[in-house]
Amino acid sequence: MKLLTEIEAPRTIGELLAGAETAKLAVAFWGNEAAAALGISSNSKPLKIICNLESGACNPSEIRKLLTMTTNIEVRTNSRLHAKVYWTPLGVVIGSSNASANGLAVEGKELSSWAEANVLTTAPTMLEQTSTWFDALFAASSPITDSDLNLAEKLWRRRQFSRPMIVKTDVGLIETVRNNLDHPIWTSVKVACWQDGLSASAASRLSAILDDHRSDEDISAYEGWQTYLAEGDWIFDFFIETDGSISFNDVWSIIPPLPSSPDLSLALKRKNFAPEGFGKIEFTDEDKRGLLHAIPHLLAQRKLRKLPEQDERNAVFDLLEAVEYLNSVAKGKKSKTHDTSSLEKEFHLAMIRVDDEAKKIGHNATKFREMLRKHGGKETARRLVTSPASETFTKFFLKGRVDLTVEALVVQERWKPLFSEDVLRAAQLRLRA
């Protein structure tokens, strides 16, 4: 008997299948390319498979692939199946490893994030008992029809939106998005910003709806945005004040529309952003500041693209658009930081070159070089410029070589980004004096 991890199990199962004349797999959940990962192909030897299509966690595309590979592979479905059993006459692996991941419709790169445990045994008694158990379950399972696969497609798509995220969600909304960019939930999360309220007609109809509703729930509506908002969408709502400032106006979700008002997307106010299957995802002050920073840019983009019912006053966009913009801003800042660091190094060399030039006219500044070694060019320049004028500055002035002063170097256009306004002003004042 041997324990197999999530890394060891696929390799061991593949070796068992490759060396056996037949195999029986009772594995509830199959993910994309699972067959290929296990070495199952059109050339496979006789193979019986039981899956659980009704769960919504079994990828129907992979099951279709298995069904059309060869007549040697027989696949059935059983809604009771949750087991993960890989049997061959050579050995059996029993454990938690699905041919996808943990029954949660997680695939691809996410698969490697789950810790699994499986046991390999070659004990004859165990092999016999497992084979008997499989045969009974296979007899009780159903052949798979096109109707089964079509239903499974719907269940699979629905389940994708509630599959878990791989990282903690208490790090804030934007950071959670960044860590799970390919999760389908984000396609149903929007940011709405508006300045113009409902038309008189729409406001009257909403008032009638609220009178009929008669509950403590806070319900509002968006007018004319049916193309952009769908039932189940989450909305981070922002209001544009008349002075152009923007304020956050809570989290909402779109509820089923009413036939009497097809142009209204009804929205229910929520206490927290808590999509089904996740629990609460924190919306922090930093998230709010990020969206407030992104909104003016995205509004401008809407104006340029001239989207129907959207302009610089009223617009709705995917949360991913905002995160993409914020990522580009962050990337630009990192690039700028990198550029500044490079500029500092170049300035340090410029300070050394100035000292070399000063030596040519008989000025040997030992203290200056010591400061450069200890503090670097930028900090040395800041200290000298913001201190009282030195004898060195006066000497260079009297010799007509003000160009060799630190002040003259600091105010050059190339180096200005390195220094604060106070430092630049001090250098300019000294040079003018």
pTM of the model: 0.51
Q: Are 190 and 310 in contact (CB under 8 A)?
A: no
- Share above pLDDT 90 across residues of the chain, in percent, rounded to a whole number: 36
Residues 6 or more apart whose CB falls under 8 angstroms from that of 321 comprise 191, 294, 298
Share of the chain above pLDDT 70, in %: 89
Quickly state the pLDDT bin for 209 (edges 50, 70, 90).
Answer: confident
Residue 137: band (very low, low, confident or very high) from pLDDT cuts 50, 70, 90: very high
pLDDT of residue 244: 84
User: What pLDDT score was predicted for residue 293?
Assistant: 93
| pLDDT band of 112, cuts 50, 70, 90 | very low
Radius of gyration of the chain (CA): 34
As given in the structure block, the two tokens for residue 67 are 């069904």
Q: What is the pLDDT of residues 144-158, one digit of tens each?
A: 999 999 888 888 876
What's the mean per-residue pLDDT of the chain?
A: 84
Q: What is the pLDDT of residues 360-397, one digit of tens each?
A: 788 877 788 888 888 888 999 999 988 887 778 778 87
Helix/strand/coil (H, E, C) string of the chain? CEEEECCHHHHHHHHHHHHCCCEEEEECCECCCHHHHCCCCCCCCCEEEEECHHHCCCCHHHHHHHHHHCCCEEEEECCCCCCEEEEECCEEEEECCCECCCCCCCCHHHHHHCCCEEEEECCHHHHHHHHHHHHHHHHCCEECCHHHHHHHHHHHHHHHCCCCCCCCCCCCHHHHHHHCCCCHHHHHEEEEEECCCCCHHHHHHHHHHHHHHCCCCCEEEEECCCCCCCCCCEEEEEEECCCCCEEEEEEEEECCCCCCCCCEEEEEEECCCCCCCCCCCCCCHHHHHHHHHHHHHHHHHHHHHCCCCCCCCCEEEEHHHHHHHHHHHHHHHHHHHHHHHHHHHHHHHHHHHHHHHHHHCCCCCHHHHHHHHHHHHHHHHHHHHCCCCCHHHHHHHHCCCHHHCHHHHHCCCCCHHHCCHHHHHHHHHHHHC
Mean pLDDT (whole number) for 24-48: 86
Asked whether the predicted pLDDT for residue 109 surpasses 50, the reply is no
Q: For the chain, list the domains and their CATH numbers.
A: 2-160 (3.30.870.10), 173-329 (no CATH), 361-432 (no CATH)
Closest listed residue to residue 190, CA positions, set 226, 244, 164: 226
